[in-house]
Amino acid sequence: MRLYSIFLALAFFSINSLPVTAYAKAGSDSAIELWEKGRTEVRRGLESGSSSTLKKAEKILRDARSQMPDNVNLQVEYYRLLYHLVGEKDFNKQALEKEFSLLHQKAKEVVHPPVMLDILDAFQRDRPSLFTEPATSEEKLNLLRQAIRQQPKSVLAWYILSVHQQNEHREFLALDAALMALELDKDNGSALYQAGELYNIIAEKNTYVYEETEVLGKAARHLAKAVAIVPNHGSNLYALNLLGQIYVRLGLFPLAMEVSQKAKARMIFDGILLHPAALTDALIYLGKGDEAVALMKVSREVDVKFLSHPVSSAAKSPARKSRFAAANVLKGDWKRAYTEYVKVVKKTDSPKLKWIAQWVHDVYGKKSPRFVNMMKMEEAFEPISEGASTDPWIKKINDYLTDANRDEMALVRDANGTFQKVEAHFYTALALWIGGDAEGSKRHLREAVKLKAYGYQEHFWATVFLKSELFSENKG
């Protein structure tokens, strides 16, 4: 579980993290010796996983604590040991609560309150079990609020609150909590990852991706900082891939390639690579069809070799086959592009994908009419007129494409927002191409590309067709 590893990483800080003299009042030689002996036993217990050794360390540190009750460092170390023991069910929680109440305020600021263990338990109960009922959302929220009341400066409490709010699909509240965690610790890797992911989700859900690119820019900055600060974080591979995709959508293709290469170099399991979608997209946008095809072939071979691995399910996805078709269009291999897109169309009911396929079909049909005429009937594309949809905008595109007496600019005039404007120019270009007006088609593809909706399906294909041999605008 995502939270469990975070708890283990943060709940029991290194006992050597504070110098013995900080906030310390003088103690007798025997008390200092007890403290050092207790530290040694704690290290031994943690290294060996021995509960009995840690319990022995607790008794020694308790004796030292009784001799130096006002030493803040000793308070912190003894409390953290108790916290660990209670978390492992090796100690009574009441003792932890009592010890927390006795801590100096400076000590309370650097430890987790006892309620954090209840929070861990509540999230752990989400795992299927015959013996426990899952904690309700309200129960988790109340525990988190209690933890924040007890320790308003707890980075972990704010971070977990952010994760919880995200799980409940309250992204703006989740982002507020993640940013509060970063206000307390601006270099906290987990909070940086969380904030970056949330900015990206908010951008996508609220169509800020192209209308308000600063939101996506904030996602990129937080993820980039997280990767730089904590290069070996467990979420690093995911973050690198997400960061690569964000860079593509921002049109920062060299950066997309750089981070995607890093992601590609990291193995997930026994040689299996996460499909480098952002790297492929960056290569395609730069007009490097040969490189994109070569990359996807290697990735596909790895997936085929390990078909039982869950990551390999992406190998058959329409999005991946669409990329492979696009790369082959750039390469000039229209036959391969055509056959790949047949597979895409068979796996989707999307009228828009079928319309894009119609363009590939039209080009290859003119290049190799004999091959197209020999196709089996089930492989033939449905006529554009059958792509109608209940969505008003899709229906409008469909009516436009099937109107023999269409007004060229009708679709463009009716478009609202970046998405529709890109689609309007793209499908106008499609209609003009099939109608034999290559120059008009080229003009509208250029207008679609100018809108900079990088990564959006129609913008992606507008770029591909412009850079293909159809229009020879492959300028990198």
330-362 confidence digits (pLDDT tens): 998 988 888 888 777 777 778 888 888 888 878
Q: Which of 95, 111, 127 corresponds to the end of one domain? A: 111
Report the predicted TM-score, pTM, of the whole model to 2 decimal places: 0.73
Q: How far apart are CA 27 and CA 9, in angstroms?
A: 31
- At 269, is the secondary structure helix, strand, or coil? strand
- Kindly state whether residue 215 falls inside one of the protein's structural domains: no
Ramachandran category for residue 226: left, alpha or beta (phi over 0 → left; psi -120 to 50 → alpha): alpha
The pLDDT confidence band at residue 321, using thresholds 50, 70 and 90, is: confident
* Cα dihedral 388, 392, 394, 397 in deg (nearest 10): 90
Residue of 368, 376, 315 lying closest to 342 (CA atoms) = 376
- Kindly state whether residue 246 falls inside one of the protein's structural domains: no
Structure tokens at 217: 């820019």
* pLDDT, mean of residues 155-160: 92
The pLDDT confidence band at residue 171, using thresholds 50, 70 and 90, is: very high
Q: Which of 72, 89, 111 corresponds to the end of one domain? A: 111
Count the alpha carbons within 13 Å of 452 in the hemisphere toward its beta carbon: 10
Lowest pLDDT segment from 103-112, 212-221, 256-265, 438-447 = 256-265
- Kindly state whether residue 344 falls inside one of the protein's structural domains: yes
Structure tokens at 237: 């591979």
Read off the amino acid at residue 51: S
- At 382, is the secondary structure helix, strand, or coil? coil
**Terminal Cα distance for the chain, rounded:** 43
| C-alpha dist (Å) from residue 307 to 56, 292, 297, 411 | 50, 22, 15, 44
- Kindly state whether residue 193 falls inside one of the protein's structural domains: no
Q: How far apart are CA 326 and CA 342, in angstroms?
A: 13
Q: How far apart are CA 434 and CA 385, in angstroms?
A: 14
Distance from the Cα of residue 261 to its chain's centroid: 17
Q: Which of 80, 111, 142 corresponds to the end of one domain? A: 111
- Kindly state whether residue 33 falls inside one of the protein's structural domains: yes
- Residue 199 burial (CB < 10 Å; 0-12/13-18/19+)? buried
pLDDT tens track for 436-475: 899 999 999 999 999 999 988 999 999 999 999 888 755 4
Domains: count for the chain: 2
- Kindly state whether residue 381 falls inside one of the protein's structural domains: yes
Rounded to 5 degrees, what are φ and ψ at 86?
A: -65, -40
pLDDT for 459 equals 94
User: Which residues constitute the domain of residue 383?
Assistant: 319-467
345 contacts 353 by C-beta, under 8 angstroms:
yes
pLDDT for 127 equals 60
> Which residues on neighbouring strands pair with residue 269, listed in sequence order?
272
Rounded to 5 degrees, what are φ and ψ at 449?
A: -65, -35
- Kindly state whether residue 142 falls inside one of the protein's structural domains: no
- Kindly state whether residue 270 falls inside one of the protein's structural domains: no
pLDDT for 440 equals 95
